[in-house]
Structure 1
Amino acid sequence: MTTRKADAQHHAKPPAVPSAAATPLTPYARLPRRHHDRHIAHSTVDAFGQAHWLLAAREPGRGRGALKPYDASVVTVGPDGRSHETELSALRARFPRIDALPDGGFVVADARSRRSEQHVQVFDALGRESWAFRAGDAIEELLTDHEGRLWVGYFDEGVFGNDELSHPGLRCWSAGGEPLWAYEAADGASAIYDCYALNVSEDAAWACPYADWDLLEVRPDGTVRRRANGTAGATALAVHQGGVTFLGGYRDERDRLVHAELRHQEVRPYATGRLVGPDGGPLGQRRRTVCRGPRIYVQEEPHTAWAVYDIGAVNDR
């Protein structure tokens, strides 16, 4: 993913705005300790607030030779802290991305794939594979919505690669593999070179892509609203009642928060801050984020716990 290594000096910084105090994350969900001896292949938080860990005996694809299908399990922890486990058989993903479906099933995609591979597997609630399909190489983000649609953002090696499915940079698929929508640059807008940040809420999908950083709002009917945005390098975003908060940036701005108003044609910052861990300490360099409406979920190494930053809870106080 070469664009993520771009030199920060080539990108305009947001206008000077007042600086806010550090904001700590709130603990959200934790993998039960009895599962800590297994390899965490991937983890996410779904559209309904449940946390999921995809666990395998060892890291997929390690060693020589072709990858053999492997068994794995999904440990699900609900908002109430209760957990249950679902066994999945014959996974084929070397670099898995997982999310849950509204019917209790799961979708597991391999982030890297060849054009001949059916690299997205759909499992029912009992862990049985129902079907498989292609969704394109170089998957950066995979998020399902409340209706079971799959929103997929791609990084630059897919956008500029030889798999035409990845070229739009952002697509929506049905859980059955039917292409529902693909981004098209129109009216002089820039193409998506890398889908840096993706948020899937109940009523829209939001993206902040490289290279112009415009905030894209994709409505259920497929229409796209663009807002000019000067905040470069954000890797996560949250939206709530006319406001947006961006997390991330280049170099020493990885933990930066930029709070802004959603205007008709632009994003207007009004304050900045810094996101810190639940204990007030700095966030680690290697972390995962999942964005759902007003929430940014953050998972640091060793990936056994999720924490959350909820701009809805902050703004509604």
Structure 2
Amino acid sequence: MQKTAPIPYAHLPRAHHNRHVLTSTVDAFGAAHWLLGERAPQPGGDMPLFDALVVSVHPDGSVELTELSAVRARWPHLDRLPDGGFVVAASRARRDGDSPQVQVFDALGRETSSFSVGDAIEHLLVDEAGQFWVGHFDENPAGIRRWSATGRLAWTSDSARIPGLFDCYALNVSGTAAWACPYTDFPLVEIRPDRPERPVRVWANGVRGARAVAVHGERVAFYGGYGEERDRLAHGVLTETSVEPTDISLLTLPDGPASGRRRVVGRGSRIYVQAEPFTAWGVFDLST
């Protein structure tokens, strides 16, 4: 099988390797961010508030540090807002419902608002307009939603007629649009809420289990799969109604095959990927 190597993209500066990586992402403008804590979260019980450090590495290589005060999320998602602030969300909502799930911080690291978006967050990605998309896994039937940074529900998949939307396996947010590949039917879905005449398009797709998707014009690539296919890169082209497969390759990580977990972010034509210990991002770009 042909092998494709991602291009090294961003590294957590070594000076911060003594902290625990709680999560990491790449934002809509190409900056990589790491949310760091003093220790790894512990399962069970109430999570005490803690201060965290966001280390941001911009496309030009410059590094920015932001201290966030009184973070609540044990297993957090992170992304940056266009105004320099951050969104931090707990993947699981508390059963008592008393603790808002999402915290919005300004550029100085101060909490400005908090609210809940529903349990079982699989993906959280902020778009260029400052709204954020949430894809849920199968313990929440909400599917895919778009929220404002003040907690207003801006779009929902409830009436979108997306076949087999039980778990948002893959989500790609670029500009103000989103692409998804949900379990169980794994269709490729384009979502453009600003296009009222046809906000959702669906293509039938035979690639199963992909965890990330990239789209460039009529070309598409799916990364991931079940079992031994977890580093599979399946290519295809869009027809009027379906994704037609073209070829399959293996996305090899910078240090070769790794047995640990992966973290992926889809942004337009790009799939960003990192492996444990989650200190480095590589990128595959479908447009090159």
TM-score, normalized by length of structure 2? Answer: 0.94
Q: What is the CA-CA distance between 1:47 and the residue it aligns to?
A: 0.4
1:210 aligns with 2:183: yes
Q: Could you tell me which of 122, 138, 149 is aligned with 1:175? A: 149
Partner residue of 1:96? 76
Partner residue of 2:206? 230
Partner residue of 1:85? 65
Is the Cα–Cα contact under 8 Å of residues 25 and 309 in structure 1 kept in the other structure?
yes
Distance 1:121 1:217 in 2: 28
1:136 aligns with 2:118: yes
Distance 2:160 2:15 in 1: 51
Partner residue of 1:7? none
Matched pairs, number: 283
Partner residue of 1:306? 281
Distance 2:188 2:57 in 1: 32
Distance 2:260 2:27 in 1: 23
Q: Percent same amino acid among aligned pairs?
A: 56
| Structure 2: segments with no counterpart, 5+ residues | none
Partner residue of 2:132? 150
Q: What is the CA-CA distance between 1:190 and the residue it aligns to?
A: 2.4
Distance 1:180 1:271 in 2: 37
SS of 1:252 mapped into structure 2: helix
Q: What is the CA-CA distance between 1:284 and the residue it aligns to?
A: 3.7
1:69 aligns with 2:66: no
Partner residue of 1:38? 19
Partner residue of 1:21? 2
Is the Cα–Cα contact under 8 Å of residues 46 and 144 in structure 1 kept in the other structure?
yes
Distance 1:259 1:190 in 2: 22
Q: Could you tell me which of 167, 188, 197 is aligned with 1:194? A: 167
Q: What is the CA-CA distance between 1:292 and the residue it aligns to?
A: 0.2
Q: Cα–Cα, structure 1 residues 284 and 147, in superposed 2: closer, same or farther, change >3 Å?
A: farther
Distance 2:260 2:181 in 1: 21
What is the aligned-residue RMSD (CA, Å)? 1.5
Distance 1:37 1:248 in 2: 30
Is the Cα–Cα contact under 8 Å of residues 179 and 188 in structure 2 kept in the other structure?
yes
Distance 2:287 2:251 in 1: 16
Is the Cα–Cα contact under 8 Å of residues 51 and 76 in structure 1 kept in the other structure?
yes
SS of 1:196 mapped into structure 2: strand
Q: Could you tell me which of 213, 217, 242 is aligned with 1:266? A: 242
Is the Cα–Cα contact under 8 Å of residues 129 and 176 in structure 2 kept in the other structure?
no
Partner residue of 1:286? 261
Q: What is the CA-CA distance between 1:252 and the residue it aligns to?
A: 1.3
Partner residue of 1:254? 230
Q: What is the CA-CA distance between 1:256 and the residue it aligns to?
A: 1.0
Q: What is the CA-CA distance between 1:206 and the residue it aligns to?
A: 0.3
TM-score, normalized by length of structure 1? Answer: 0.86
Q: What is the CA-CA distance between 1:204 and the residue it aligns to?
A: 1.9
* Structure showing the higher helix proportion among its residues: 1
1:111 aligns with 2:91: yes
Is the Cα–Cα contact under 8 Å of residues 164 and 186 in structure 2 kept in the other structure?
no
Distance 2:53 2:2 in 1: 40
Is the Cα–Cα contact under 8 Å of residues 155 and 193 in structure 2 kept in the other structure?
no
- Give the residue type in structure 2 aligned to 1:149: Q
Q: Cα–Cα, structure 1 residues 269 and 25, in superposed 2: closer, same or farther, change >3 Å?
A: same
Q: What is the CA-CA distance between 1:119 and the residue it aligns to?
A: 1.0
Using the TM superposition, name which of 299-308 and 178-187 deviates more.
178-187
Q: What is the CA-CA distance between 1:65 and the residue it aligns to?
A: 4.4
Q: What is the CA-CA distance between 1:185 and the residue it aligns to?
A: 5.0
- Give the residue type in structure 1 aligned to 2:241: Q
The one-character-per-residue Cα deviations of 1:142-191 (angstroms, maximum 9, x if unpaired) are 00000111100001122xxxxxxxx221110001100001103556x524
Q: Cα–Cα, structure 1 residues 140 and 258, in superposed 2: closer, same or farther, change >3 Å?
A: same
Moved >4 Å (runs of 4+) = none
Is the Cα–Cα contact under 8 Å of residues 105 and 127 in structure 1 kept in the other structure?
yes
Distance 2:43 2:205 in 1: 44
